[in-house]
Amino acid sequence: MLLRNAILQEAKINIIQESCSQLRKASEETNKRLNQVFEEQHHCKRDRDCLDQYINKLLNVYQNMKPQAEGHALENPYQQEDIKPYASLVNKERSPSQY
């Protein structure tokens, strides 16, 4: 009876040790993956911050150039009345002999 109890106790210990070993491996894999995800998020955040800075610089350049561009806007040299006679030519269908 003592021998049977000792064998059962050792079997339980072996099962517990194997379970702990499997849990430790799973935990290590999970930690590796979490570290990878953290590193990827860190890179994404850094890239996003760089992109935000670049966009802000472009917006600043645009805002600085906008008043200059408004003051020196080019006017259309063609008046609407000058264009109207030609608009009807563009919209007409042509026969092949007209080309």
Domain extents in the chain = 1-67
Structure tokens at 45: 């955040």
Question: 36 to each of 17, 71, 90, how far by Cα in Å?
Answer: 29, 53, 61
C-alpha 49/C-alpha 12 separation (Å) is 54
* Residue 11: per-residue pLDDT: 94
Name the average pLDDT for the chain: 77
* Residue 61: per-residue pLDDT: 84
pLDDT in tens, 6-33: 999 999 999 999 999 999 999 999 999 9
Q: Which stretches of the chain drop beneath a pLDDT of 70?
A: 66-99
* Residue 99: per-residue pLDDT: 44
